[in-house]
């Protein structure tokens, strides 16, 4: 078992990156791995990392929401993972953040789902009905992350900051 997430043990962790430089950084830390085919028809491959007594699979999804969504869905279903960790390069809005800092999301916000009407401007969750639903029935565009992983990281004396991650198609 790697760690526990919400009381459930994590035995298999799926790690996702979008760029070769990010994949190389992980492989520099975990140089022992086996190449695996997740779905050759879709071009989804991974690396089974050798790390202690639990499974970690690294998948380079390629850049973009469609690539990330497809690779995540296929890999998580085929590999029966217990948790997913997305790693990557991002822009920072705080001057005290440096290259290599670990920022753990406590809130994730899909920023480019915006609804504008005569009476209001609101954020809306992508892919969900909006206008036809009462406000109490609408999905939120804000996702909260599980605090268990943060507790585990801090127990390993890993220095990190917390913050909101904004994502979307428009930058």
Print pLDDT tens along the chain (171 aa): 455 555 667 778 899 999 898 898 888 888 789 999 999 999 999 999 876 677 889 999 998 888 988 999 999 999 988 888 888 766 666 778 777 777 788 887 776 666 667 777 776 666 666 666 777 777 777 777 777 878 877 887 878 888 887 776 655
Residues whose CB is less than 8 angstroms from the CB of residue 132 and which lie 6 or more positions away in sequence, other chains included = none
From CA 46, how far away is CA 56, in angstroms rounded? 10
The pLDDT of residue 17 is: 92
- Please give the structure tokens belonging to residue 45: 């491959």
Tell me, what DSSP letter sits at residue 82?
A: S
Helix (H) or strand (E) holding 166: strand 161-167
- pTM here is 0.69
The pLDDT of residue 34 is: 93
From CA 59, how far away is CA 169, in angstroms rounded? 21
Please say whether the dihedral angle defined by the alpha carbons of residues 104, 48, 24 and 72, taken in this order, is positive or negative. Answer: negative
Looking at the chain, which residues constitute the CATH 3.40.50.1580 domain(s)? 1-89
Question: Would strands 121-123 and 114-116 be described as parallel, antiparallel, or unpaired?
Answer: antiparallel
Chain centre distance of CA 54: 19
Helix (H) or strand (E) holding 29: helix 20-29
CATH number listed for the domain at residues 1-89: 3.40.50.1580
From CA 136, how far away is CA 130, in angstroms rounded? 11
The pLDDT of residue 126 is: 64
The pLDDT of residue 128 is: 62
- Please give the structure tokens belonging to residue 49: 């990392």
Please say whether the dihedral angle defined by the alpha carbons of residues 149, 154, 159 and 165, taken in this order, is positive or negative. Answer: positive
């Amino acid at each position: 078992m790697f760690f526990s997430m919400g009381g459930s043990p994590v035995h298999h962790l799926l790690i996702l990156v979008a760029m070769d430089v990010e994949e190389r950084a992980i492989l520099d830390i975990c140089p022992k791995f086996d190449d695996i085919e997740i779905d050759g028809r879709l071009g989804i491959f991974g690396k089974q990392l050798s790390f202690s007594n639990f499974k970690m699979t690294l998948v380079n999804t390629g850049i973009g929401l469609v690539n990330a969504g497809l690779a995540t869905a296929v890999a998580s279903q085929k590999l029966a993972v217990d948790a997913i960790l997305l790693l990557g390069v991002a822009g920072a809005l705080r001057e005290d953040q440096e290259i290599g800092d670990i920022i753990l999301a406590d809130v994730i916000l899909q920023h480019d789902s915006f609804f504008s009407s005569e009476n209001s401007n609101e954020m809306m969750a992508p892919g969900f009905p909006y206008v036809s639903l009462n406000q109490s029935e609408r999905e939120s565009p804000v996702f909260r992350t599980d605090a268990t992983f943060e507790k585990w990281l801090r127990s390993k004396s890993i220095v990190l900051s917390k913050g909101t991650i904004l994502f979307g198609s428009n930058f």
